[in-house]
Amino acid sequence: GDSVTQMEGPVTLSEEAFLTINCTYTATGYPSLFWYVQYPGEGLQLLLKATKADDKGSNKGFEATYRKETTSFHLEKGSVQVSDSAVYFCALSEPYNFNKFYFGSGTKLNVKP
Amino acid sequence: DAMVIQNPRYQVTQFGKPVTLSCSQTLNHNVMYWYQQKSSQAPKLLFHYYDKDFNNEADTPDNFQSRRPNTSFCFLDIRSPGLGDAAMYLCATSRDVTSVFHNEQFFGPGTRLTVL
């Protein structure tokens, strides 16, 4: 079945460091891919998304490219800030059942000043 | 601002005492979802409504029920909460699940349930 695998955390970085959080997926066809962010005590917020191969989603300095050949959707940011500390979830929705989302287990990011 | 609202943010109940969590939305979305999220885990879909059409996940326990009296409101009822039901419960909505361009889910802030 469909699934999402993302790197385990926590990831601890210093401010202004480069961030990569790996995400790979298993799906039939061409799913839509998402990154959601969850700040402490809050719900999930959409960070970015991509709906077809080679699309690049971007928002607030974060980027991720839909790579069909490697079934990946890695999240990157060139210079993290303390305010980026949160849990990041990679997710996919099925191409034939758009309301069904599969979430990865989440990666906690800690950014130190 | 259009949004998804969950009340209460924190709920404490006793073992076996029924509890209801509520969700409302001002987005006028036709799909509403309930997820259970335990600590350090991914959200787990319990069920969703497409308009009034209820869709239960196969592994959702019978202890969990839902009601959607109108487009704006959706309720999660836990008939006899056990200690294992302590979790964050997230409500989400989406606008149109017939198009890949509209299937983004919008989440509420969640209700943290404690079972004593």
pLDDT of residue A67: 96
pLDDT of residue B99: 63
CA A105/CA A103 separation, integer angstroms: 6
- Residues in chain B with CB shorter than 8 Å from the CB of A103 are 42-43
CA A87/CA A6 separation, integer angstroms: 12
Question: What number of C-beta contacts closer than 8 Å exist between A and B?
Answer: 59
- Residues in chain A with CB shorter than 8 Å from the CB of B48 are 99
Q: In 3-state terms, what secondary structure has residue A82?
A: helix
Average model confidence (pLDDT) across chain A: 92
pLDDT digits (tens, 9 = 90+) for B31-69: 999 999 998 788 999 999 989 999 999 999 999 999 999
With CB atoms and an 8 Å threshold, state whether B98 touches A98: yes
Q: Region A9-33: what's the mean pLDDT?
A: 93
Q: Partners of B56 in the beta sheet?
A: B47
With CB atoms and an 8 Å threshold, state whether A43 touches B99: no
Based on the number of CB atoms within 10 Å of its own CB, is A25 exposed (0-12), middle (13-18) or buried (19 or more)?
Answer: buried
| CA distance, residue A15 to nearest chain B CA (Å) | 24
Higher pLDDT, B17 or A97: B17
pLDDT of residue B101: 60
**Residue A86 in this model has a pLDDT that exceeds 60:** yes
Q: Region A35-63: what's the mean pLDDT?
A: 93
| Nearest Cα residue in chain A from B102 | A98
pLDDT tier for residue A25 given thresholds of 50, 70 and 90: very high
Q: Does A43 touch chain B (CB under 8 A)?
A: yes
% of chain A surpassing 70 pLDDT: 96
pLDDT digits (tens, 9 = 90+) for A60-80: 999 999 999 999 999 999 999
Q: Partners of B67 in the beta sheet?
A: B75
pLDDT of residue B100: 58
**Residue A98 in this model has a pLDDT that exceeds 80:** no
pLDDT digits (tens, 9 = 90+) for B61-104: 999 999 999 999 999 999 999 999 999 999 999 886 666 565 78
The DSSP secondary-structure symbol of A96 reads T
Q: Partners of A96 in the beta sheet?
A: none
> Across B1-116, where does the E strand assignment appear?
4-7, 10-13, 19-25, 31-37, 44-50, 53-56, 64-67, 73-78, 87-94, 106-107, 111-115
**Residue A92 in this model has a pLDDT that exceeds 60:** yes
- Residues in chain A with CB shorter than 8 Å from the CB of B94 are 98-99
CA A68/CA A26 separation, integer angstroms: 10
Q: Does A42 touch chain B (CB under 8 A)?
A: yes
**Residue A99 in this model has a pLDDT that exceeds 90:** no
| CA distance, residue B16 to nearest chain A CA (Å) | 26
Dihedral angle sign, alpha carbons of residues A31, B49, B97, B42:
negative
pLDDT of residue B97: 63
pLDDT digits (tens, 9 = 90+) for B1-31: 669 999 999 999 999 999 999 999 999 998 9
Q: In 3-state terms, what secondary structure has residue A84?
A: helix
CA torsion, points A103, A107, A111, B4, in degrees to nearest 10? Answer: 20
> Residue length, chain A?
113
% of chain A surpassing 90 pLDDT: 75
